[in-house]
Amino acid sequence: MGMRILGIDPALRTTGYGVIQIDSGQFRLVDAGVIRSNANLPFEQRLLEIHSGVAELLAEHRPDSFAIEDLYSHYQRPTTAVQMGHARGVIYLASAQAGLYVNAYAATQIKKMLTGNGHASKGQIQMAVKLQLGLRDLLEPADVSDAVAIALTHYHSTLQNALLK
């Protein structure tokens, strides 16, 4: 029996997502893309667009696990951090409504897991995702490859934890 994981790279404008399926150690990309919120809409409507998009993905793909990038923001931009917190909140709400626990991973942990370097570039992450999934092309935009990287990190972390028990 396989495992299906939804990875989310949260953002207010362009939230990346990636759904991977793992069967007998073989990875397959099921779906990937972005959920866009209209910057011209009021903030609460943008949050509704993000929530609705994630809820649709959860209903359509019925993942076994849900993983998201942990919140990171520079202290010089507290407003951005608060707004991202709201976006993450509606994503967490969609997950709770679907009965899934949210697994959060720091950006440095994701980069280290996929490339061995906690400070890898976006291009290095895109290449690592391409190689692990056996894709012909890089996933674009980077938000999409980041979301798939989050899903892959969850799988590898789960596997490592199982081996350590």
Q: Would you please indicate which residues are annotated as catalytic (active-site) residues?
A: 9, 69, 143
Write the CB contacts of 52 (distance below 8 Å, at least 6 apart in sequence).
none
Tell me which residue of 84, 156, 56 sits closest to 115, measured CA to CA.
156
Largest CA distance in the chain: 50
**Which helix (H) or strand (E) segment is 70 a member of?**
none
How far is residue 58's CA from residue 51's CA, in Å, rounded to a whole number? 11
- 63, 5 Cβ separation under 8 angstroms: yes
**Residue in this structure with the two tokens 């207010």, named with its chain if needed:** 12
How far is residue 128's CA from residue 142's CA, in Å, rounded to a whole number? 12
**Start-to-end C-alpha separation, the chain:** 21
**Residue in this structure with the two tokens 């679907």, named with its chain if needed:** 98
